[in-house]
Structure 1
Amino acid sequence: MKVMKNLLKNIFSIGLIASFWACEDLTEVNINPNSPEQVSSNYILTYVLSNTAKTYHNLGYENSKIAGAMQYVQRGTNEGAVVVNYYGWGHESWNSYFDILRNNQVIYENAIEEDNQFFKGIALIMRSFHFGLMSDLYGDIPYSNALQANNDGFFPNYDRQEEVYKGIMIDLKEADALLQNLDPAKDLVNSSSDILYGGDSQKWRKFANALRMRYSMRLISKKSEMTALGIDLVNEFDEAVQFTFTDNADEAKVDFLGTDENNAAPGGPLNSPNPNLLLKPAQTIVDKLIGLNDPRLYRWMMPVQYKWDEEVMVEKDSVVTNILGESYTVRFKPAPEGLDVNTNLYVGLPVGLPIVEAMAFNKGNDEEGYHPERSPYISYLHERYRKNQDEYVSMNLITYSEVKFLMAEAAQMGGFSVSDPEMHYKDGIKASMEKYGILSNPGSFNFDTYYEQASVSFASGDNKEQRIMEQKWLANWQNPQAWFDWRRTGYPVLEAGPVTQFGAAIPVRYMYPSPNLDPNYLVNYEEALSSLENTEYIPAGQSKDHPYAKMWLLQNSGKPW
């Protein structure tokens, strides 16, 4: 948080000035309790949680590579289209993750020194969250010897991915145990500093167990390898499911306050002075929502401004009101004969179109010139994504709906303690809809009617896994978990567009940060690359540090392609 950093600098500066004018020994400044080196863990916690939430949120929205890959959004013109629409992914910095981890390490060390088990549990959870996420993105990462710069550890080795996952499973289990046995007299966290759970230790415990469930399922295709490392994934899941999220109020999420650029949503005017209209809803998800008669469509997208219509003979403006009570003025225009146009009220941009085609998409016989990002024939993302704050836009680290879909998947798979996959599947859909205020304010929407559709009902689906993962993909709207699930299962079935950088496939990993040329670094970097598997989408002669190389997690799985 910029405000916190500036305040710390000011505190430090004041300490230096005071010591100068008082002619004191500078060693007294070095042990000044007001100096940044000795700042309270409560203060650091706010920084760790707020920056974790923003960094993670941006993976799925503002930094929309993953949102583009999962066909939630597309870029309307050439600005960023190569990256989002055509998968021209480059090297990705991990500085933000390590910056958060360094601060989190201070919390961990303070917790040991002060014997505060609550803070220790939180630090273990946040360490697991970030190291797990980094390994999900890159593969092998600096882990066991990371965060050791104070001990001259400047070039940590990259641990094998399976060792990283082993470590986070151990840490999460320890966190769960710590949070079960706190001493209320000393294991305290300031409720105002804990912007995630307000100092509620039991909700932190549920968060730890939700993450244990996430990683138990993420690793399930590597069950035998993890067992050999001493991690029983089925037992981990079965333990965690006993004390985890039970409703949306348990979710690990941070809301945008919208009072300044540090706590406002990325698409709002405080961070985007010009309305962010570059991102368009992708045709894939728009058509899926239309086909399911899914009311989440109305929370996430807006209708076109100009609608082609086969029933009207002359242009006319009409007010349309969706089932949630939101009204818009739309111009209805006679559909041009002999031209292929989309006559839906909601129109997404097809995936991976060439730039010229994307700019002209769905214009029919309209020869009017429009701003390249403001075609009235393509839907925009809902206006809530251009606000500083909105009740339906939050930074979600893990949701109740994800937990329910994990339970549905485990029950369908068999061998776990959970049963009745349909109940958990149905609860997952309900949790997602309620998150967007649909069930509590349904208008004319009837959930039972929605669920009984052949395209939704669990009983009518031939491929149960596919049905679960498709609904989970919808529930994970603009959340990077959708990409991790797709890599693991191949669902939903997504096809690359006509223009791609490396062939008709969607990327499966982030490239490491641009290599440091120091020989000490390169040794570790090259060793990490040796763990990656070449695929047909990597051009001959190119490095395996590539978005289409398969990390250990995906090797020998046949997924996602």
Structure 2
Amino acid sequence: MKFTNIKKGIAALTVGGLLFSCQDLTEIDKNPNSPEDVSSNYIMTYVLSNTGKTFFSLGRDGSKIGAAMQYMQAGTNEGAAVINQYAWTQESWNGYYEILRNNQLIYDKGIKENNRFFQAIALTMRSAVFGLLTDLYGDIPYTESLKASSGLFFPKYDEQAVVYKGIMTDLKQAVTLLNSLESKDAVNPTSDILYKGDGKKWRKLANSLRLRYALRLSDKRSEMSALGVNIQTEFTEASADAFTSNSDDASMAFVGASADNSAPGGPLNSPNPNFLLKPGQPFVNKLIALNDPRLQRWIQPVQRKWDTKVTKETTVTVKNSYGESYSVVYVPTTATNVDTSLYVGLPVGLAITQAVAYNKGNDATAYNNERNPYISFLHERYRKNTDTYVPMNIITYSEVEFILAEAALAGSFGATDAEGHYKKAIRASMDKAGVFTASYDYEKYYAQPLVSYASASNKLERIMEQKWLSSWFGIESWFDWRRTGFPALKAGDVAQFGKALPIRYMYPSPNQDPSYLTNYNSAVERLGSTNYIPSGQSKDHPYAKMWLIQGTSKPWN
């Protein structure tokens, strides 16, 4: 696969809408379409927006990770094999490398023009995207990638430790560059759709990513030390200047003006509203048990609610904490096998015949399979082109506080006050979800025995459970679960490879060129076999262990 080729007609040009004026045709030695003639500001907009969309799409409704973390389930046969059964197939990485190719242009031009700001932005985004790739797949093309112009079309797959070392090195260099910015090191604020040219916020982002990866590598400290990376030092340095509020979030909003800049679930991208995907029961039930106000931001009430207190069907107008009204039909029942909650999630891993009929009880009405009224729908905001509470997040302040809480609990990263960070993390997530636009008593929520840090018998599990809730439709919870085993999620009955959740993405279908196959096979051979890989199948499998979790009992043996 020639993922190092520079794409003809560079995509960044279309994003920037760059127009070239007429030129003297005698200047045939100048190519106005050559990438080196493109302003980095135009390319930066492309890199930032597409990185944001990539992170968003990996966790959104209908995604593999969203399903694995049981944020949602398929309520019909469409997509059920992947979502409910974890029958994951090979996944292309062309989009990631296209972002990286364009990002490399920013870095190279930053070097050529001695612009430290562009260099630092490119190093930070390079780390975010390469970090995402290795988190998903394991060993990846890294040191030899992006070199097609030099004739290197089939780069080797670097070992994961080498990739992580490069990420930590690049992020540290980015911080150094951002600490030495001068007035000449400028970017166009309108092109920087993330931070509007604010170098201090970019420095906080680089440091926050250092925290993410230092914690990710906490079980591999000795191996990283052998490569010259001191995880303890990296964490300590980064924590001194990382995110300190939600205003620091590496977060972008969908514009909602065209299909390219709108949320995937909105009418510009999805003409038919998506009702086949249902919120997952484990997630919904946990929010209900905690009386968590984020439930009403993310999930809608059922349209028909079983109720033991009514004697005939009664239509009730239900208003949530945010003033949103829903018409709900309360249906009388004496049955004990139906869910009488106002918010009902779909159990994990049901056979499709069961999923379609779930919670319908003795109601024989032939409802459209997608619109079973006895199961909640995702909130309507996930069927809009843009919404305040549906952003593209790369990393958030809430995540940083959860990282600091876990580090303080571990006691080996110099962080202290685990409970203080844990409490700030939850509050930051709630603030981002708009909980405090309504009158809400956070202290009362936090004091609950199932939320309070002090009342937890397993404090790591408590931290990771709340981080899972706060990561709704995000991807970090999957990486955390893979590393810690928390939250203790269970696969459903139809899981294809047994009672376990998948732990990696499969490589793209290998190019049959001998050079490519040699590199691919070497990477596959380094993966660790597990009992969930059927005999005779390749180790390029969703249940193979990458280096990051080899030698551990996590998330399962």
TM-score (norm 1): 0.95
Match of 1:294 in 2: 292
Aligned partner letter, 1:349 = L
**1:320 Cα deviation after fit:** 1.3
Q: Is the 8 A contact 1:117 1:178 kept in 2?
A: yes
Match of 2:147 in 1: 148
- Identify the match of residue 212 of structure 1 among 210, 213, 226: 210
Match of 2:127 in 1: 128
Identity of aligned residues (%): 59
Task: State the SS of the aligned residue for 2:369.
Answer: coil
**1:388 Cα deviation after fit:** 0.8
For 1:91-170, list aligned pairs within 5 A: 91-170=90-169
**1:263 Cα deviation after fit:** 1.0
**1:30 Cα deviation after fit:** 4.7
Q: Is the 8 A contact 2:35 2:105 kept in 1?
A: no
**1:442 Cα deviation after fit:** 2.8
The question of 1:558 aligning with 2:553 is answered yes
In 1: Cα distance, 2:422 partner to 2:18 partner: 52
Task: State the SS of the aligned residue for 2:501.
Answer: coil
Cα deviation 1:178-234 (Å, max 9, x = unaligned): 1011111x1111000000000001100000000000000000011111111111111
Match of 1:461 in 2: 456
**1:241 Cα deviation after fit:** 0.5
Aligned partner letter, 2:441 = N
Gap regions ≥5 residues in structure 1: none
Aligned partner letter, 2:393 = N
Cα deviation 1:493-545 (Å, max 9, x = unaligned): 00000101111110000000001011010000000011100000000000000
- Identify the match of residue 312 of structure 2 among 287, 290, 314: 314
Cα root mean square deviation, aligned: 1.6
Match of 1:543 in 2: 538
Alpha carbons of structure 1 residues 403 and 370: separation in structure 2 relative to 1, 3 Å:
same
Q: How many residues align?
A: 548
Cα deviation 1:325-368 (Å, max 9, x = unaligned): 2221100001243x510000000011010010000000000000
In 2: Cα distance, 1:36 partner to 1:409 partner: 44
Match of 2:438 in 1: 442
Alpha carbons of structure 1 residues 224 and 36: separation in structure 2 relative to 1, 3 Å:
closer
Match of 1:203 in 2: 201
In 2: Cα distance, 1:50 partner to 1:253 partner: 10
Q: Is the 8 A contact 1:212 1:237 kept in 2?
A: yes
Alpha carbons of structure 1 residues 138 and 4: separation in structure 2 relative to 1, 3 Å:
closer
Alpha carbons of structure 1 residues 194 and 7: separation in structure 2 relative to 1, 3 Å:
closer
Q: Is the 8 A contact 1:86 1:352 kept in 2?
A: yes
Aligned partner letter, 2:433 = Y
Match of 1:237 in 2: 235
Aligned partner letter, 1:246 = T
In 2: Cα distance, 1:502 partner to 1:4 partner: 41
Task: State the SS of the aligned residue for 2:370.
Answer: coil
Q: Is the 8 A contact 2:61 2:72 kept in 1?
A: no
Alpha carbons of structure 1 residues 35 and 227: separation in structure 2 relative to 1, 3 Å:
closer
In 2: Cα distance, 1:55 partner to 1:152 partner: 28
Match of 2:512 in 1: 517
Alpha carbons of structure 1 residues 72 and 222: separation in structure 2 relative to 1, 3 Å:
same
Alpha carbons of structure 1 residues 239 and 7: separation in structure 2 relative to 1, 3 Å:
closer
**1:323 Cα deviation after fit:** 2.5
Q: Is the 8 A contact 2:398 2:429 kept in 1?
A: yes
Match of 1:281 in 2: 279
In 2: Cα distance, 1:288 partner to 1:453 partner: 13
Task: State the SS of the aligned residue for 2:251.
Answer: strand
Task: State the SS of the aligned residue for 2:317.
Answer: strand
Alpha carbons of structure 1 residues 227 and 364: separation in structure 2 relative to 1, 3 Å:
same
In 2: Cα distance, 1:234 partner to 1:495 partner: 33
Match of 2:58 in 1: 59
In 2: Cα distance, 1:434 partner to 1:105 partner: 36
**1:76 Cα deviation after fit:** 1.0
**1:78 Cα deviation after fit:** 0.8
Aligned partner letter, 2:526 = S
Cα deviation 1:144-167 (Å, max 9, x = unaligned): 010000000101000000000001
Task: State the SS of the aligned residue for 1:544.
Answer: coil
Task: State the SS of the aligned residue for 1:341.
Answer: coil
Aligned partner letter, 1:74 = Q
**1:32 Cα deviation after fit:** 3.8
Task: State the SS of the aligned residue for 1:373.
Answer: helix
Q: Is the 8 A contact 1:210 1:241 kept in 2?
A: yes
Cα deviation 1:458-477 (Å, max 9, x = unaligned): 00001110000000001110
Alpha carbons of structure 1 residues 8 and 117: separation in structure 2 relative to 1, 3 Å:
closer
